[in-house]
């Protein structure tokens, strides 16, 4: 049943990118550090999407919050 529901749902979908600009922060970090980064952003109510790669990760934030995001990440160096 779940497979047919998924197939039905996928038939009506088409790829589209939302016209929302993002700022991208690229970091080379271990998973515990990435968790600290995401928590620092959450503490400032900055939503983020993380793309985890093999050698580095990307953190996507709303364009109008990009400076706030970088400031939140820099604040970790003072902690």
| 19-77 residue pLDDT tens | 656 665 556 656 677 888 889 999 999 998 888 777 777 888 888 888 898 889 888 88
Domains of the chain: 20-78 (3.30.2130.10)
Reply yes or no on whether the pLDDT at 3 is more than 70: no
pTM of structure: 0.61
User: Is residue 15's pLDDT more than 90?
Assistant: no
Specify the pLDDT at position 76.
84
The contacts of residue 24 (CB under 8 Å, 6+ apart) are 58, 59, 60
Structure tokens at 31: 């998973």
């Amino acid at each position: 049943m779940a497979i047919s529901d998924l197939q039905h749902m996928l038939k009506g979908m088409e790829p589209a990118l939302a016209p929302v600009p993002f700022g991208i922060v690229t970091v080379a970090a271990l998973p515990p550090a990435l968790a600290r980064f995401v928590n620092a952003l959450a503490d400032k109510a900055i939503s983020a999407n993380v793309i985890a790669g093999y050698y580095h990760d990307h953190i996507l934030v709303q364009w109008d919050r990009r400076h706030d995001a970088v400031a939140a990440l820099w604040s970790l160096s003072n902690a």
